Structure 1
Amino acid sequence: MPTTLPRSLVKGYHPAALFRPRSLVLIGDPVQPEAPILAANIAAGGFRGNAWAIGIEALGLRPVESVEALPEAPDLAVLCLPPAALEPTMAALARRGCHAAIIPGPAPDLGAISARTGVRALGQGSFGLCIPAIGLNASLSHIAPATGRLALVTQSAALARAVLDWAAAERLGFSHVIGIGGNATLGFAASLDWLARDAATGAVLLDLRRVRNRRAFISAARAAARTRPVMAIRAGGRTADASGLDDAVMEAALRRAGVLRLAGLEDLLAATETLGRVRLRPAAPGPQGEPPATRIGIVTNGIGLGHLAADAVIAGGGTLARLRPESLAAFQVLMPSGWVVGNPLSLGPLAGPRLAEAAAMLAGLPEVDTVLALHAPAPGEAPPDAADAAAEAMIAAARAGGGRAAPILVGWVGQATAGRQRRAMAEAGLAVFATPEAAARGALHLAADRRNRAAAAELPSREVLELAPDRAAARRILAGARAAGRLALTVEEGLGLLAAYGIPAVPGRRAAGPEEAAAAAAMLGFPVVVKVLSPDIPMKSEIGGVVAGLASAEAVRAAAQTMLARIPAARPGARIEGLLVQRQAARALELRLRLGEEAMFGPWIGFGPGASFAAVAGEEGLDLPPLNLALAHQLIARSGAARLLAGFRGRRPADHGAVAEALVRLSQIAVDFPEIAGLTIDPLFADADGVLAVDAALTLRPQGEVGELSIPPYPAELARPFRLRSGEVLEIRPIRPEDAAALAEAFRRLDPEDIRRRFFSPLKELSPVLTARLTQIDYDREMAFVGCTADGAIQGVARLIRDPMAPAAEFAVIVAKAMKGQGLGRHLMERLFEWGREAGVTEIAGQVLTENRPMLEFVRRLGFSLRRSPEEEEVMEARLLL
């Protein structure tokens, strides 16, 4: 069922008015520097719609005296005005019925002006908007972009001009160029929401500086990345944070959304050359568990080029395809007599069109995901027509796959004779490079994009870590610290909170001085560790604030006395709040788990080696909460601690599952207590028997401040029981990613006719992509309630998808045949209505086949009104005001 909503369901601003306008007005003050540029570009673009101008003359734009005098309400307004004139003009536009604008100049209070007038805008400082397919060039560009499948969303006018200039030389075109500027009201999320549903967009390029709404951005980016490559760069990340932590958090956020993070403009252009041109075939798993789309086959007319490309692939973390014996035998007929067949595959300098033939054969092999075809000028190709024939054959080979074969990336090396052929291949739509290393980098970009998007849509196992934390105990601990006027908790308090969430913590007791410490040690049992308690000393061991291996009361007393005498001298002014005596845990692998916050994407979770290894660059993996077990295992695998968990120097492997559970529990703490500013567990001991938290540092935010997660957590509080008419009780709860297998099983049990009526086509199976889409949802903008039996079998699903730009939503519902007549469908819909009202939805719509009389009667009884769709005779539109 389509997710777009009829225009009649929304009021005021609608995305189509901005991103597919049918009419526009340029309102300009000729004194503004942007006004003449925009006037000339709009006039020259050949816009396929009505275009007017107010206050400025422009050839091809019909002059109008005022907003009120416009013959009709324009979809889009371009405002080149001084800041003081913006609000009255936007108010006039709103009264006339125009609610979308572009503001290329300064607009210091644009967010507030938009809120007051109801006009949503790109800006301030917007580069403008280009939609070549409809002849719209309302931008500050020096060059008109060609029509194509790329979309560029940028905050930088300079970067936009650079990309457009490069793309023109590379014969690449655009579906959209969107300059969001200051991102005040319409920015990345609104643009990505539109592009995610735009069939003309094949790949998206993002220039990220400031994300205003982290949740909306991640949600929209994920929606776009499900169906096309989305790539992002960030200028100024290291300038703002030299440590690189902010950049690492952003990369983690983009990874969760399925977006490919690139290093800079050069990397962006290289990735665009590849991802903007090629289409991948459906991925098949690699041998021995290798991820898909990483196995690269190389064919060349010179083995030196092949080796350079192979080295670049391996150095970049890629994999050379291992060709099967039957595949190798098939290539023997193309090889010079006596040459060895392998990967790279060298056909010799006189290969000519045979190079293209071999590339096509490689592309058809199931064990090859991407082909690099490398060509150097050869003596036998000296006549231009011979070299041209080789290039034309390569164009035909690259086009022949049609999405069924692996993509062919071409490295056509040289300039004097090869440059013209390279341009011809680029014009034909091939991804073509001037060096073997650049071609290899293109293949690696393909692999990275495919892995990123596959990981974001990975179907987790059924396993769910059922948490039952003692939230009341945790609240008491935090309240006690605030009552004492502290934002920093003691180690004892921090470990107590971890224990409340099921993370095993070493037993300990607080002591005021040496005598109490000795008594506490006797109660805990020897050996023990004594630590100083001070909110001003985070790294206690560095100044003798931790003493381990104390085997008697006398040893504890002496260590405590020495510690309390040494610390004031080492750290004058540090507050000493006593001592912590802990039973000494057996030595094990030391890990560090962290919860912190980054300005753009909010709370994050870090995992890596603990103690002295904790600060080693690149050893810590990062992700965003909330985490489930599948995401926790992925985080562990990305960290430098993964190889340590596997066992080393005779040490047995640690309990990987226990570590993953600890990460999920830490994630739940972040969800439940957004007033926590930071929490570090260091070390967390891990061995074959499990994990044990030994030290914890926790700080709170000032009273009233809370952190906002980039990704909404699972709303477990919405789960409730429901009794069927038969007396059987089902659990009604929001769907979750771990329901993937259960949903697929439920689909297979459905009546084929019910499937056809629900999806408007006969489906035999839910594809992995569709399963991920239906189970991995954004709970802020979408809800799906499932009815489950005690064994987890799904008996019915009802879904409500909000329009992100309007208080409207679309519904869908389906119930197992055995459950019909039991009241389940009605109850699921009523739960959706309840959620929709809470979420601000005011109107619900859906489409039902006219032949589906049971569903039509069902929605009538729920209060929906019905009318025949004006676009589709066999479809009825159902609507309900909440």
Structure 2
Amino acid sequence: MTPRSTAPGYHAHCLFRPRSLVLVADPGQPEAAVLAANIAAGGFEGRAYAVGMPVPGLLPSESVEALPEAPDLAVLCLPPAVLEPAMAALAGRGCFAAIVPGPGPDLAGISARTGVRALGQGSFGLCIPAIGLNASLSHIQPAAGRLALVTQSAALARAVIDWAAAEKLGFSHVVGIGGNATLGFAASLDWLARDAGTGAVLLDLRRVRNRRAFVSAARATARTRPVMAIRAGGRSGDASGLADAVMEAALRRAGVLRVSGLEDLLSAAETLARVRLRPGVREARVAIVTNGIGLGHLAADALVAGGGCLAELRPESLAAFRLLLPPGWVAGNPLSLGPAAGPRLAEAAAMLAGLPEVDAVLALHAPAPGEAPPEAADAAAEAMIAAARTGPGRAAPILVGWAGQATAGRQRRRMAEAGLAVFATPEAAARGALHLAADRRNRAAAAELPSREVLELAPDRAAVRRILAEARAARRLTLTAAEALGVLAAYGIPTVPGRHAAGPAEAADAAAMLGFPVVLKVLSPDIPHKSDVGGVVTNLVSPGAVRTAAEAMLARIRVARPGTQIEGLLVQRQAARALELRLRLGEDAMFGPWIGFGQGGTAADIAADEAHDLPPLNLALADQLIGRSRTARLLSGFRDHRPADRAAVAEALVRLSQIAVDFPEVAGLTVNPLFADAQGVLAVDAKLALRPIGEAGELAIPPYPAELERPFRTRSGDALTIRPIRPEDAAALGEAFRRLDPEDVRRRFFSPLRELSPALTARLTQIDYDREMAFIGCDETGAIRGVARLIRDPVGPAAEFAVIVEPAMKGQGLGLHLMERLFAWGRATGVTEVAGQVLADNRPMLAFVRSLGFSLQRSPEEEDVMEARLPL
């Protein structure tokens, strides 16, 4: 465990694991009495002080300055006018972590001026039941457990805490970030990602202040535990649903399960806080067993409607259930045992959980005549508790739907106390199974290992800069269609040949040069959809036809829209008809640039078939984006639609994504239609809008830093390339690991690993380039010969290093060069100290770090570990 830092300034452990706290309160503030009572009643295991009001159970102090020690955490329940002096006094006393439950209009500014970071304004507070901390506005004391809640809403926090108390679920943390002014989602998730006591995380998202930090921290947390999120007000604030769709895309990239509302959030928490799918399961095959076929059919309908999968039970599996069935009944899925099932329901659930073709079991129970004595129904419930507890990790999880209230409510409470995922309706139980599958699918997709294939791009960035500069010189933020197509062509997206024409005569000449047939289009910044005013004419086969069509088009527009600015005409070679697609780049207020894919053509907006993701994309992510749209089925061919080249569409998406990476001044870019057929893709029309001068889009996910690639020559003359690691290096990293000496592996990983697991490989190759860097040395075949890694502290200027080279490269200067590259990157990103742990018996590494200037001392926690530190 990392030792607690004593350096001045904010440290996460002071907020999330405080050993002392102070309540600084004005008794006239409406929150003061609740906070004081909750802190006193929580049984905080540290030292607690009170300033400004007497609180029984808290040690009194006349002022912050008079406190006998610097508290780790301060709870400030004060009028806004005295908030800054109080925070300045805390900083002077050495306290830099605070909670502000009331108003704090300039909390971000106060924090910047004093150095005190705070949850708030309007924070619900902080509960850490394991240490007896309840510095919150809760109406009841939350129980200790493994569920964490990070919320901006105090009302939602109280609702979840109240529900959890009834369901016998406890919390590792309840964090109210309120206005999210200085400490918000990212800081909370960074802590929870490393907290062994947290098993699942619930998020109430309203406003993400730092999109990059949030996505990075959410992804780190979701690697090791389920994370679920809701967003209140998303659709009411944007009826189009686009903002919601982009948020869902961001959460998907992070491996977070998006749920639709409070009921869904509680259902997901009930499930994911209690049960897990077996390792390796991604699409859960569900078996249903019930004492009433009606319940079974309701659950099956809900499961199928939600996109779930009913398990196909093998004949030999079904045969095993014949002894449990009433005479003449047929086994199937759902499997109904009849109302007299009693404890046999649990026996059948346990049998289903052991079948290899079953990934999850729904056990559904309705009150039955034979269970009228409470003891009989209790026996069925106790049998279900025993069945659900058998073989965790080896058997499929059992989710229980125990319908009814008058007689069933008590049994549900008993099963909840025993740790079962238990629901009041069959539909709710089915929803739990769907959440299990969706969580596993999301987290697996976020950590999916792509193939080695990398789309090597060589765009003509200079040409794009010229096009954009010409538009700005003309004081335009909107490019013409010809200019937008020119940008696409510079990035290797095939475009239809075309020429700009000033008027009808020039259009006829342009058509003659291009060859027939041609398409004629009006160019006007005032006409967003050319087809609305007859601004597109196709199948023109002669210069005369082009001239006549141009004259008629311009006359038509002058009548329909007088005063419209006409910038000319675009003449294009007419492409053969193909599947019409639409590709888009846009901007979301919360998560920044997004990319969309779906049906194209004039009906694209009506069809509402668009899947979304965030740039940057690689080929694997682009293919997944295509697969989430309904149009994906047409790419494979359907009726009169011939198959199209899906790989070419994925390439076009990657190239479009790279435009967002390279030119953050692009505010929006639409390609519609993009024709797709068996020969590839062809961009026919495009629109591109620029941001005002000085504005730039910020990606929520940092792109691959290709500019850091450098050549290197070893002492023996071998040529290597030193570059940042990327997801496509997963296979090469596994091969490099297998070439390592087992002793080197033990020294690097502090464990005798035989193979890199897929999860660890994903963690090592799919990195956040803002907070982590891994430089690899590759030969001309792409084989990795050495790796050095630097991981920054999320909230501080320190970073942890690791380095390893394969046996054949020892003594060649590769390790030294990789470390020097890491140091340069660290200095450029604000790292002031590099630290690492080295096994005490690893003499070569100890000598190596000494030669680099590291100081060494034995770890106070682990006798066989040395801590190495180097100021940069």
The amino acid across from 1:90 in the alignment is: M
1:553 maps to which of 535, 543, 558? 543
Q: Output one character per residue of 1:456-482: Cα deviation in whole Å (capped at 9) or x when no partner.
A: 111111111000000000100000100
Asked if residue 775 in structure 1 is aligned to residue 765 in structure 2, the reply is yes
Offset, 1:379: 2.4
1:257 corresponds in structure 2 to: 254
- What is the match of residue 590 of structure 2? 600
Cα displacement string for residues 268-324 of structure 1 (whole angstroms, at most 9, x for unaligned residues): 11111111221332124xxxxxxx242111111222211111111111110001123
1:743 and 2:740 equivalent?
no
1:77 pairs with 2:74 = yes
CA contact (8 A) 1:293 1:370 kept: no
Q: Which residue is equivalent to 1:184? A: 181
Deviations 1:666-693 (A, max 9, x none): 0000000000010000000000000000
Q: 1:34 aligns with which of 31, 36, 47?
A: 31
Aligned partner of 1:760 among 750, 754, 758: 750
Q: Does 1:788 align with 2:785?
A: no
C-alpha deviation, 1:9, in angstroms: 8.0
Residue matched to 2:464: 474
Q: Which residue of the partner structure matches residue 806 of structure 2? A: 816
Write the distance in 2 (CA, Å) between the matches of 1:137 and 1:710: 34
The residue number in structure 2 matching 1:842 is: 832
- Partner of 1:549, secondary structure, is strand
1:154 aligns with 2:139: no
- Which residue number corresponds to residue 125 of structure 2? 128
The counterpart of 2:714, out of the listed 706, 724, 727, is: 724
Alpha-carbon separation, structure 2, partners of 1:400 and 1:524:
74
Aligned to 2:20: 23
2:664 paired with 1:664: no
Q: Do the aligned partners of residues 181 and 532 (structure 1) sit closer, same or farther apart at CA in structure 2, a change above 3 Å counting?
A: same
Moved more, 752-761 or 567-576: 567-576
Pairing partner for 1:690 from 676, 680, 697? 680
Q: Distance in 2 between matches of 1:9 and 1:50?
A: 18
Contact 1:75 1:98 (C-alpha < 8 Å) held by counterparts: yes
Partner of 1:799: 789
**Residue of structure 1 aligned with 2:384, choices 391, 394, 400:** 394
Show structure 1 runs of 4+ deviating over 6 A: none
1:164 and 2:161 correspond: yes
User: Which has the larger displacement, 209-218 or 364-373?
Assistant: 364-373
Identify unmatched segments of 5+ residues in structure 1: 285-291
Q: Unmatched 5+ residue regions in structure 2?
A: none
Name the amino acid aligned to 1:87: E
Paired position in structure 2 for 1:227: 224
Q: Which residue of 2 aligns with 1:238?
A: 235
Kindly indicate whether the alpha-carbon contact (under 8 Å) linking 2:839 and 2:866 is maintained by their aligned counterparts in 1: yes
Partner of residue 587, structure 1: 577
3-state secondary structure, aligned to 1:7: coil
Pairing partner for 1:566 from 556, 567, 571: 556
d(CA) in 1 for partners of 2:663, 2:481:
18
**Cα deviation code 1:579-617 (max 9, x no counterpart):** 111110111111000000010000000110101331135
Q: Distance in 2 between matches of 1:656 and 1:834?
A: 41
Please, which moves more after superposition, 185-194 or 4-13?
4-13
Inter-partner Cα distance in structure 1 for 2:7 and 2:826: 16
Secondary structure in 1 matching 2:625: helix
Matches within 5 A, 1:182-331: 182-284=179-281, 292-331=282-321
SS of alignment partner, residue 521 of structure 1: helix
- Go from structure 1 to structure 2 and tell me whether the alpha carbon gap of 1:509 and 1:296 turns closer, same or farther (over 3 Å shift): same
For residue 526 of structure 2, the aligned residue among 532, 536, 541 is 536
2:478 to 472, 483, 488: 488
Q: Is the 8 A contact 1:487 1:702 kept in 2?
A: yes
**SS of the residue 1:612 aligns to:** coil
Residues 648-677 of structure 1, C-alpha deviations (whole Å, 9 max, x = no match) = 223320000000000000000000000001
Equivalent position amino acid for 2:677 in 1 = D
TM-fit CA distance, 1:417:
1.7
Query: Aligned partners of 2:738, 2:190: CA distance in 1, in Å?
Result: 31
Which whole-Å CA distance do the structure 1 matches of 2:598 and 2:221 have between them? 31
Distance 2:392 2:18 in 1: 33
Percent identity of paired positions between Structure 1 and Structure 2: 82
**Which range moves more in the overlay, 682-691 or 156-165?**
156-165
- Structure 2 CA distance, aligned partners of 1:352 and 1:123? 52
Distance 2:739 2:8 in 1: 41
Q: C-alpha deviations, 1:726-752, integer Å up to 9, x for none?
A: 211111111111111111111111111
Indicate yes or no: 2:515 matched with 1:525.
yes
1:138-166: CA deviations, max 9, x gaps? 00111111111111111111111111111
Deviations 1:97-142 (A, max 9, x none): 1110000011111111111111000000000000111111100111
For 1:333, the equivalent position in structure 2 comes to: 323
- Paired AA for residue 385 in structure 2: I
Alignment pair present for 1:49 and 2:39: no
Matched residue type, 1:757: R
Distance in 2 (alpha carbons) for counterparts of 1:880 and 1:8: 16
Shift of 1:618: 4.3
Give the alignment partner of residue 67 of structure 1, picking from 64, 67, 72.
64
Residue in 1 that maps onto 2:142: 145
SS in 2 for 1:298: strand
Residues matched between the structures, number: 872
Q: Distance between the aligned counterparts of 1:835 and 1:674, measured in 2?
A: 23
- The 8 Å contact of residues 297 and 320 in structure 1, kept in 2 or not, is answered as yes
Question: Which amino acid letter does the alignment assign opposite residue 114 of structure 1?
Answer: S
So what's the TM-score if we normalise by structure 1? 0.98
1:316-715 matched pairs, under 5 angstroms: 316-616=306-606, 618-715=608-705
Q: CA RMSD in A?
A: 1.1
**What is the rounded CA distance, in whole Å, between the counterparts of 1:294 and 1:694 in structure 2?**
42
Tell me if the contact between 2:8 and 2:94 (Cα under 8 Å) persists in the aligned partners: no
8 Å contact kept, 2:140–2:162:
yes
SS of the equivalent of 1:361 reads helix
Residues 5 and 11 in structure 2, CA contact (< 8 A), matched pair in contact too: no
CA distance in structure 1 between the aligned counterparts of 2:164 and 2:513, rounded to whole angstroms: 74
What CA distance in whole angstroms lies between the structure 2 residues aligned with 1:499 and 1:375? 62
* Residue 91 of structure 2 corresponds to residue 101 of structure 1: no
Q: C-alpha distance in 2, partners of 1:246/1:568?
A: 37
Q: Does structure 1 residue 878 correspond to structure 2 residue 837?
A: no
Tell me how far 1:549 sits from its aligned partner. 0.4
Contact kept, 8 Å, 1:9 with 1:808, in 2: the verdict is: no
Aligned residue number for residue 724 of structure 2? 734
Q: Distance in 1 between matches of 2:608 and 2:357?
A: 32
Partner of 2:172: helix, strand, or coil?
strand
- 1:24-57, CA deviations, whole angstroms, 9 ceiling, x for partnerless residues? 0000001111111100110011100000000011
Give per-residue Cα distances to partners, 1:792-838, cap 9 Å, x unaligned.
11111111000001000000111111111111111111111011001
Contact preservation (8 Å) 1:603, 1:624: yes
SS at match of 2:439: helix
Corresponding position: 1:118 with 2:108: no
* 8 A Cα contact 1:10 1:807, kept in partner: no
Asked whether the equivalents of residues 597 and 677 of structure 1 are also in contact (C-alpha less than 8 Å), the reply is yes
Please tell me whether the aligned partners of residues 122 and 184 of structure 1 are also in contact (alpha carbons under 8 angstroms). yes
Q: Which residue identity is paired with 2:72?
A: D
Does the Cα contact within 8 Å between 2:276 and 2:436 map onto a contact in 1?
A: no
Q: CA deviation at 1:532?
A: 0.7
1:462-510 Cα shifts (integer Å, max 9, x gaps): 1110000000001000001001111100001000010000000001111
Does the CA contact (< 8 Å) of 1:293 and 1:446 recur in 2? no
* Alpha-carbon distance in 1 for matches of 2:138, 2:42: 11
Secondary structure, in 3 states, of the residue corresponding to 2:320? Answer: helix
CA distance in 1, matches of 2:702, 2:322: 56
User: In 2, distance between residues paired with 1:362 and 1:313?
Assistant: 17
- The Cα shift of 1:11 comes to 4.1
Give the direction of change, closer, same or farther, for the CA distance of 1:31–1:9 in structure 2 (3 Å limit).
closer
Give the Cα separation in 2 of the matches to 1:573 and 1:190: 54
